[in-house]
Amino acid sequence: MTTPSRRSVRVLAASADALRASADVRFVREATDGSIDDDAFAAYLAIEERFVRTATRVTGYLAWASDDWPAVAGHARAVAGLVGQQLGWFRTVRSRWPGGPGRLADAVARSEVLASQVLGLTSTHGAPGAVTAMFAAETLYSEWCRRAAAAPVERFTDLRAWIDMHAAPPFTAGVEELATAVDAIPDTIDDDTVTRWFRDTLAAEDAFHDAAYPALETTG
């Protein structure tokens, strides 16, 4: 078997099992089949908005850190999408899903594992760690949202809009930009290291998604 020349393709192949598992956590299953309840969706919106802000900071850092102008422009477009399309959407939608203060506080506290993972890779390993973490997070969303968008399932309007946003450009174009950036990680960092960063970020995504539910309701 020929080894793929692109590092991003090799990392995805080495992480295929983890991606499948992360796309089968309770939140993704219930968002896909439309059965997620109001409390869980409200909690998810609260934690996801916070993470989008973290993603904006990290992607802005990637634009600053790159010495390749097309990469700078790609990261800048991603920041524009995060600040404009996504955070703008949250400003419109969050008031419709206030949630209970106690439930939201618990969800936020437990969800910080994902921001800690991404910011930790960024602060410790710089741009290679940052771009790998974002590639893991955004690949997961692109894949499960594309499948969900194609499924003939009835969903309430805000859930459908959030899924559709991640199943089409500019979001999916941003994932391709991240793949190109992963391909450009220096060879001094081996595939095993990049794959470990990728898989560790997916594990943090799993804990993040579980935070949308009370702790005793996340199994199964």
d(CA 11, CA 182): 9
Residue 104 lies inside a defined structural domain of this protein: yes
Residue 81 lies inside a defined structural domain of this protein: yes
pLDDT at 63: 96
Would the pLDDT of 220 be above 70? no
Residue 216 lies inside a defined structural domain of this protein: no
How far is it between the farthest Cα atoms of the chain?
54
Residues in the chain: 220
Total domain count for the chain?
Answer: 1
CATH code of the domain containing 27: 1.20.910.10
Would the pLDDT of 129 be above 60? yes
Would the pLDDT of 216 be above 90? no
Q: Tens digit of pLDDT for each residue in 21-60?
A: 999 999 999 999 999 999 999 999 999 999 999 999 999 9
Sequence letter at residue 203: A
Decide: 111 and 50 in contact? Cβ < 8 Å.
Answer: yes
Residue 219 lies inside a defined structural domain of this protein: no
Residue 176 lies inside a defined structural domain of this protein: yes
Residue 12 lies inside a defined structural domain of this protein: yes
Residue 220 lies inside a defined structural domain of this protein: no
CA dihedral 131, 134, 140, 143 (to 10 degrees): -70
Task: Return the structure tokens found at 203.
Answer: 């594990």
DSSP state for residue 217 in the 8-state scheme: G
In the chain, pLDDT over 90 holds for what percent of residues? 94
Its domain, for residue 36, covers 7-211
Whether this model's pTM surpasses 0.85:
yes
Nearest to 212 by CA among 19, 46, 35, 11: 46
Place of tokens 């760690």: 129
Residue 11 lies inside a defined structural domain of this protein: yes
C-alpha of 58 from chain center: 12
